[in-house]
Amino acid sequence: MAVETREEIFSLKGREIKLLVVKDIEALVTNPNDEDNIPYWADIWPASRIMASYIWEEMDFTGQEVLELGAGLGLPGIVAGLKGAKVTFSDYKEDALEITLYNAKTNGVKDADTFLGDWRDFRLGKRYDWILGSDILYNPRLNPFAERILLDNLKEEGSLLITHARRPSTYEALERLKLAGNFDEEVREVAITLKDDYYPNYMIALHQLQRKEKNV
């Protein structure tokens, strides 16, 4: 593994998830002016923590095929795998997928694979029952590509689970998705406090989008 890592424990109700995480994220920044090389994938974002806990406590993915888009270190997808899903972890960085697959296997997720793909040229020819995305719709320049994937790679009766730190660009993208995909939406907001001297408190929005029932 090319990236130096350390172990972090993520606690769920009744279970601990052992994760390899990047030891020094700043060391991966070779050019701060090149947005494509900012290592957003290398951190466990508050939105992914909330999604992981929600999946563990509220959802059952038995027999479901799940895509985690922009998986990063894979926490929500790993928990989905523990709740019965066959998971595909997707990111545009090989290091992210290598660490994620290791983390999945370490935590007992047996049915998992990966897909390396840039959203601007995403060629995953498969549709899923669920697509997960934690803080993926943050960049107005990239959002149209992500929105297209969320529609094109979702089954006709599929659902989306999206979390974010109440970002305006994400709300805007979700409004477009609801119209384009004919989705109903359930939303909740969850507070989270982290051990961070600068930004310890976050409010995370969790959106579950389900296709509307067709009129008979």
CA distance 130 to 148: 15
Q: What is the pLDDT of residue 215?
A: 55
| Domains, the chain, ordered by start | 40-211 (3.40.50.150)
Average predicted confidence (pLDDT) for the chain: 94
pLDDT in tens, 151-196: 999 999 999 999 999 999 999 999 999 999 999 999 999 999 998 8
Among 17-21, 113-117, 129-133, 194-198, which stretch is predicted with the lowest mean pLDDT?
Answer: 194-198
Helix axes 168-181, 143-152, angle to 10 degrees: 30
- Number of helices (H), then strands (E), belonging to the chain: the values are 5, 9
**pLDDT > 70 fraction of the chain, expressed in percent and rounded:** 98
Interval 42-46 mean pLDDT = 92
Split at pLDDT 50, 70, 90, the class of 28 is confident
Asked whether 16 and 10 are in contact (CB, 8 A), the reply is yes
Interval 18-36 mean pLDDT = 85
Q: What is the pLDDT of residue 216?
A: 47
CA distance 204 to 16: 22
Q: What is the pLDDT of residue 1?
A: 59
Residue count of the chain, please give it: 216
Of 87, 89, 91, the residue nearest 59 (C-alpha) = 87
Interval 60-79 mean pLDDT = 97
